[in-house]
Amino acid sequence: MATHVDQDRRSSYTNLSYLSNHFERRRDPFRVIEAKTWELRKIFAHIRHQVFCEEHPEFYLTKYIDHFERDEHDAHAVHLLVLYEPLHMFIGGARVILPDHSRLGFGLPSLLAQDSQFLNNFPHDLSGFCELSRFNLVKDRMKIVRDHQLQGVASPDHPDVFRHLVRAVISTCIDHNLDGFLASLEEPLFRRSKQFFGVTLKKQGTPIEFHGKRQGGFIRIEDALKEVKEIDARIYHFFLEHHKNKRMEKYLPV
């Protein structure tokens, strides 16, 4: 069981001691790469299978017999893999589904869902949004990471990893000139988005049945950058590290 000290250490970006320790490391052990090759895409599909099929066999026991989970949205998506460099091991990833203007609902699953929360009174232009999905870490692999880092029975939550994934998602939006991203999530993830990612997911509509009970949420990149800049400038510059030479006017907080 995590102690009170563990809870404090794992708390949000407002814990300045935690931030200082993170940003003063000589070498960050995590790296996010885009799965552009056929081999890396297979690794992503297998990780997806491990997280959502093997951990939930009651739903997926016979659906993906080749141990690779895929769907029709992969064709217009960016797949991100998290590498734990000290052990040369992929530990999780995320998928960013890009809007396809030739498809109904721009090809985004949350817009195609029955009773989609995003089709009524959404305050922004949906054509400028992508969709975040497949945001996952493999439990067994993260246990290996914890053991390697001598963390013992530390929290199952991993803010360092999440920070890298969030930066990669933001970078993907910037690379494709998008305004932000949306997602359909279980309720606890709205709380965790602030606690571990440092940004607030805004709720849209009411929960619907969509692979279980899920709530629509979204983040505009401009709002996310403004929020993290107010918390700590180091996070802000960390998120924008790969975009120093790009035109950023539409994203920079005023």
Domains contained in the chain, CATH given: 91-243 (3.40.630)
Residue with tokens 């099929």: 53
SS3 93: strand
**Quick one: pLDDT at residue 122?**
95
Is there a contact between 81 and 43 (Cβ–Cβ < 8 Å)? yes
Are the C-beta atoms of 160 and 30 separated by less than 8 Å?
yes
Q: What is the pLDDT of residue 82?
A: 94
Alpha-carbon gap, residue 235 to 198, rounded angstroms: 9
User: Tell me: the pLDDT tens digits for 35-72?
Assistant: 999 999 989 888 887 777 655 555 555 455 555 566 78
Confidence at residue 5, expressed as pLDDT on a 0 to 100 scale: 37
pLDDT value at residue 54: 56
What confidence score (pLDDT) does residue 9 get? 36
Q: What's residue 1's pLDDT?
A: 39
Helix (H) or strand (E) holding 202: strand 202-209
Q: Exposed e or buried b for every residue in 124-152, given b needs 16+ CB within 10 A?
A: eebebbbbbbbbbbbeebbeebbeeeeee
pLDDT tens digits, residue range 121-130?
999 999 999 9
Q: Which residue has the tokens 């498809």?
A: 103
Could you tell me the pTM of the whole model?
0.82
> Which residue ranges of the chain lie beneath pLDDT 50?
1-14, 26, 62, 152-156
pLDDT of residue 238: 84
